Amino acid sequence: MTPLFKNTYREILRSPGRFLAILAIIVLGSGFFVGLRVSKNAMIATADEYYSDTEFFDFSLANTLGYEAEDLEEIRKSPLVLEAEGTFETDALVSVGGVELVYKFHSLPEVMNTPVVVEGRLPETPDECLGDSWTGLKIGDTVTVSASNDDDTGDLFKEKTFTVTGLATSPLYLNFERGSTDLGSGSVSGFCYVLPEAFDADYFTGIYIRCHDMPGAYSEKYDSRSEELEPEVTELAEKQAQARFDRILSDAQAEIDDGEQEYADALEEYRTERADAERELEDAYLELEDARRELEDGAKELEDGKKEIADGELELADSWNELEKARAELEDGKKELEDSRKEIDDGWAEYEKSHHEFINESIHGQAQLDTARQDLEAAKEQLEAAESEYSAGWSDYQDGVRQYEEGQAALEQMKAKYDQLAQSDPTDPELPMLNAQIAAGAAQLESARRELDSADSALSAASAEISDGWREYNENLEKYNEAEEEFKTSVADAQAQLDDAKRELEDGEREYSEGVQEHEDGQARYEDGLKKYEDGRAELDRAKRELEDAQREYDDGLREYEDGLSEYEDAKREADKEFADAERELQDARDELDEAIEDLAELETPETFVLGRWGNLGYECFENDTSIVQAISAVFPVFFFLVAALICLTTVSRMVEEQRSQLGVLLALGYSRPAVMGKFLFYAGAATVIGGASGILLGSWCIPMVVWKAYNIMYTFSDKIKFVFDLPLSAITFSLYVVAMLAVTLFTCGRELRDVPANIIRLKPPKSGKRVMLERVKFIWNRLSFLWKVTVRNIFRYKSRVLMMILGIAGCTALMITGMGINDSIRNVVDYQFTEISLYDYSVTFSGSLDLKEREEFLAGVSEFAERTVFLNQESASATAGRAEKEVQLNVLPADAASGIGELVDFHSGNKKLRAPQDGEILVNSGLADALGLRAGDSVTVRPDSGGTLKLTVCGVYDNYIYNSVYITERSFVEAVGEEPDINFALVKKAPDADAGEGLARILSEDGVLTASSSQELINRIGGMMDSLIYIVLLTIICAAALAFVVIYNLTNINIQERLREIATVKVLGFYDPETAMYVLRENILLTLLGAAAGIPMGLALNAYVVTRIELDMIHFVPRVLLPSYLWSVALTIAFSLTVDIFMLRRLARIDPAVALKAAE
């Protein structure tokens, strides 16, 4: 171990970060570059392996007549051919789970282009098939050859329904492209392998061959070898096509001869048979005539019978009328009788009632009279009693008067006695007693007197009453006598009336009895009449029945006759028809023969097609797709190489600076300059060699794996990518890095060690402070805080570091913008297409041209969910301008669609709206315009596949990303082609709330709809395909992060080491840790911001560069970077930078100012 090596080894250990930074940037730079470069080769190697495993063809031979087994044998014999296999292939409309699709059917090959079964097994019987793993088919599904195929296609299949027994990938279909077809929607949805026995064909549609000594796929050698062989293969193909033609020709001639013979025989047979049939018909006709005559006689007889019956009916009707009249009369009489009976009964009842009343009244009158008489007698008795009472009262009164007068006299005596006494002796003791007796006597007398007076008046009143009573009695007596007289008279009158009534009633009874007798006689007469009528009726009915029997008999006869007649006519018609058919058949046979003869005469030598691998869409697309990776790989070396060089430069110059005195001493001791520099060269060389070697190996191994993971979404044929080591590329990359690093080291050392040893030994004065340009701009400078000023000055102190930092960080941002921009540009193409341009939800292809009525029916059918429908003509065409030619979808707008199309397809260019095309004008999509170099006002030639040539003026170029679609008016088409375009296509926009899937199913169920596709489905499908892009984005983000980390770490690291003293001083001054950190890291922050800002335009440019290099068929990518991508890129850049800063914080905190200051002395 030389001291130099030891020294270097220690140097590395002393600050491993510095060494690792150089190592890392070289690992990253060489690894990503070689890895991405090699990815394409690795992918191609993987594909090549798949191609040789599946024995992929070198040439496919086909001709318009097909080949036969003997042609295949002949081709196999050719010395060019390693192996050859015939194939039968045809496109057919199929129905899978109720959806109509176009599948490409292949006969299952045994050796070449063998499908790789990924699930299930190969078909074993003719009704089984191997499905396409890319489609949503599942094992057990059935694929039915649809009835809507034309006969030619339908007849190719012996089996119509196939059960899926397995799913496979096929080398013929490397990616998702399944090719286009003239059936259905124009594109094939999937392939389907069936056993050759499932086809009803005795020829091959093509022959695949592999040739001897073919180099690997996609190589230039392969292409040149392929080109070299093509003429010979074509010759072979044409020779066998000619052989096939000759065979067909001779076979056909033999067939025609047979046909002529058959025709002649058939004509003879026809003639004999016709004569026989005509005779038989004649006999039948005569028989029918006899029957007809007999029937006519019978009809006359029937007519007579009918007339007789009609007369009888008339007579019967008359007698019935009479009977009816008699019956009515009888009923009237009966009613009259009943009425009079009732009258009489009523009369009797009334009589009875009156009689009864009479008796009651007379009894009642007598009773009244008796009562009145009794009342009179009672009154008389009362009066007499009152008279006697009065007499008694009167005598009492007389007695009273007398007594009173006696009393008065007694009193007078007493008075007198008293007076006497009083005169005599006033003091006598009897005096007072006597006085009292006198007074009592006087009072008694007074009351007796009053009683007498009232008795007297009562007696006078009674006397008056009695005389009134007598007067009333006499009056009443008189009235009574009058009433008695009246009563007697009225009784006599009533008796006389009753007797009269009774007499009348007895007369009525007699009359009634006579009426009854008369009625009974009438009734008997009526019944006799009725019986006679019924007898007549019965007789007539019998006659009628007889007539009906006769009629039936006649009808039967007639029917029989008519049956016979129609039978005859049928037979005749049939015979005629048969004759005509036979004649037509004969004519057809004749025509066919003639046609065959004519065809044979016209049969052209077959056209032969020989296609190499480039004719296979998957083969071609795979190469295109791998170029995406290659385009991206171009981006990396720029940054990494420059940054690696800059890192090396700064690191080495720092190291030299640190070790100046040591170097000076070495030089002073007499070591040569190269020997001294050797140490640094060794240091840088070690980093480069280790980094380059490991980077190239790791990159070659890992990156293709990651890329393949992404591509696996589109290319499922292999899980693992082959490991490819590209020696020349690796060697060049490796030596470039080594040379560059050593050159940078030499340059740096040389610059530092140019001086004389004495000066070198001396400590290099620290780089002096300088004013920066910004200080002149007082406006900004004065606004900066003090610490920012320091930062700005520091930044501009070391130009190479600033450059490195900005380049590295800008590279980081730019890489992320590129990665996310690729994603934005590609992923959102479908969204832009269907949200900004194609506003329709379904495109519908009809099986033929729709007339007005059919269009209305379709509209009615979808009216439930469809908001807008536009019918138009769509067909494929080629567009030519100058020498460039492109396949396009030609859309012909009928007059009524020209206005409505704007609602379904938004024609715009940027923000500018475009109008629909006028007559003679064409609206072209941007992709086509780019490809053909068209601008508004240019002229372009369009040739529809159905014929005709249109010369049109471009009226506008509209933004469009998917398919080449051009729009013209119907009149433009009619003028050029001379016929109306078929209305075979419709665009439908659904109502916002309608379900997309249901709508599609409804459309598919409409009459006349061949296929329909939903935009949503397409969005989903392509969206899934674009998922692979996320890996590309991740890859660039990881790469960007690595770049940012290495650059920022390295710079900060050097910065800190170099400014250790300054940092220590600041710490001594009393800066807290965060303040110290900011004092240093502020530069990182500022540079990160500057770098990120610089990275945006760089990213845009890179993105544009990469995106325009990505070519996918049908899809036109426009570089786009969305706002979130900018934000993310800048935010992630800042985040990466901050991560390094946070890591550096610890390092700064560890710096001990005392030690740092001491070390510097």
Partner 1 sequence: MAFIQFENVRKIYKSGEVSIEALRDISFEVEKGEICVIVGPSGAGKTTLLNILGGMDTLTEGRITLDGEDISAYSKKRLITYRRRDVGFVFQFYNLIENLTALENVELAAQICQDPLDAAETLRAVGLGDRLNNFPSQLSGGEQQRVAIARALAKNPKLLLCDEPTGALDYNTGKQILELLESTSRRSGMTVLIITHNSALTAMADRVITVNSGTVRSARVNEEPVPIANIEW
Please state the length of the chain.
Answer: 1161
- DSSP for residue 66: E
Pair of tokens at residue 301: 């007889």
- DSSP for residue 879: E
User: Measuring CA to CA, how many Å separate 114 from each of 615, 621, 669, 716?
Assistant: 18, 20, 77, 15
**Distance from C-alpha of 9 to C-alpha of 21, rounded to nearest angstrom:** 16
Strand-pairing partners, residue 1111, are none
Which of 731/1155 has CB closer to partner 1? 1155
777 in contact with partner 1 (CB under 8 A) = no
Scanning 75-83, 187-195, 782-790, 971-979 for contacts with partner 1 by CB under 8 A, the matching segment is 782-790
Q: How far is the CB of 768 from partner 1 (least distance, A)?
A: 3
Return the residues of window 66-95 that contact partner 1 according to CB under 8 A: none
Sign of the alpha-carbon torsion through 368, 373, 374, 380: positive
Which of 779/1072 has CB closer to partner 1? 1072
Which of 449/789 has CB closer to partner 1? 789
Which of 897/1081 has CB closer to partner 1? 1081
Which of 379/784 has CB closer to partner 1? 784
Scanning 130-138, 695-703, 784-792, 852-860 for contacts with partner 1 by CB under 8 A, the matching segment is 784-792
- Please provide the DSSP assignment of 398-413 as one string: HHHHHHHHHHHHHHHH
**Distance from C-alpha of 229 to C-alpha of 79, rounded to nearest angstrom:** 12
Which of 554/1071 has CB closer to partner 1? 1071
Which of 645/792 has CB closer to partner 1? 792
Strands (DSSP E) along 298-416, which ranges?
none
How far the first Cα of the chain sits from its last, in Å, is 33
Q: How far is the CB of 787 from partner 1 (least distance, A)?
A: 8
Return the residues of window 1064-1123 that contact partner 1 according to CB under 8 A: 1064-1073, 1075
Contact between residue 944 and residue 875 where contact means Cβ atoms under 8 Å apart: yes
Q: How far is the CB of 1091 from partner 1 (least distance, A)?
A: 22
Contact between residue 61 and residue 207 where contact means Cβ atoms under 8 Å apart: yes
Which of 410/1154 has CB closer to partner 1? 1154
User: Measuring CA to CA, how many Å separate 706 from each of 26, 311, 469, 533?
Assistant: 20, 116, 161, 120
Kindly tell me which residue out of 4, 256, 281, 790 binds partner 1, with binding defined by CB under 8 A: 790
- Pinpoint the alpha helices (H) of 670-765: 673-711, 727-752, 757-761
Which of 900/1153 has CB closer to partner 1? 1153
Query: Which residues 6+ apart lie within 8 Å of 148 measured at CB?
Result: 93, 100, 847, 1010
Kindly tell me which residue out of 786, 895, 937, 992 binds partner 1, with binding defined by CB under 8 A: 786
Return the residues of window 990-1029 that contact partner 1 according to CB under 8 A: none
1147 in contact with partner 1 (CB under 8 A) = no
Query: Which residues 6+ apart lie within 8 Å of 535 measured at CB?
Result: none
Which of 767/912 has CB closer to partner 1? 767
Which of 720/1158 has CB closer to partner 1? 1158
Kindly tell me which residue out of 30, 170, 794, 1088 binds partner 1, with binding defined by CB under 8 A: 794
Interface with partner 1 (CB under 8 A), residue total 31
- DSSP for residue 427: T
Pair of tokens at residue 534: 């019924």
**Distance from C-alpha of 784 to C-alpha of 779, rounded to nearest angstrom:** 9
Scanning 410-418, 456-464, 787-795, 873-881 for contacts with partner 1 by CB under 8 A, the matching segment is 787-795
Pair of tokens at residue 437: 């007796």
Q: How far is the CB of 1072 from partner 1 (least distance, A)?
A: 6
Q: How far is the CB of 788 from partner 1 (least distance, A)?
A: 12
Which of 300/1150 has CB closer to partner 1? 1150
**Distance from C-alpha of 996 to C-alpha of 1015, rounded to nearest angstrom:** 9
Pairing state between β 608-612 and 842-846: unpaired
Closest CA to 968 of 946, 943, 947, 987: 943
Q: How far is the CB of 1152 from partner 1 (least distance, A)?
A: 8
Contact between residue 1114 and residue 627 where contact means Cβ atoms under 8 Å apart: no
1146 in contact with partner 1 (CB under 8 A) = no
Identify the residue whose tokens are 């070790």.
659
**Distance from C-alpha of 1040 to C-alpha of 766, rounded to nearest angstrom:** 34
Kindly tell me which residue out of 136, 750, 769, 1023 binds partner 1, with binding defined by CB under 8 A: 769
Element (H, E) at 1020: helix 1015-1025
Contact between residue 703 and residue 31 where contact means Cβ atoms under 8 Å apart: yes
Contact between residue 684 and residue 22 where contact means Cβ atoms under 8 Å apart: yes
**Distance from C-alpha of 752 to C-alpha of 653, rounded to nearest angstrom:** 8
Return the residues of window 709-768 that contact partner 1 according to CB under 8 A: 765-768
CA angle (139, 142, 145) in 5-degree steps: 140
779 in contact with partner 1 (CB under 8 A) = no
Q: How far is the CB of 781 from partner 1 (least distance, A)?
A: 12
Q: How far is the CB of 763 from partner 1 (least distance, A)?
A: 10
Which of 792/815 has CB closer to partner 1? 792
Return the residues of window 1053-1072 that contact partner 1 according to CB under 8 A: 1061-1062, 1064-1072
Q: How far is the CB of 652 from partner 1 (least distance, A)?
A: 22
Q: How far is the CB of 1071 from partner 1 (least distance, A)?
A: 7
Q: How far is the CB of 1070 from partner 1 (least distance, A)?
A: 3
933 in contact with partner 1 (CB under 8 A) = no
Which of 561/796 has CB closer to partner 1? 796
Q: How far is the CB of 1146 from partner 1 (least distance, A)?
A: 15
- The 3-state DSSP class for residue 428 equals coil
Which residues are at the interface with partner 1 (CB under 8 A)?
765-770, 786, 789-790, 793-794, 797, 1061-1062, 1064-1073, 1075, 1153-1154, 1157-1158, 1160-1161
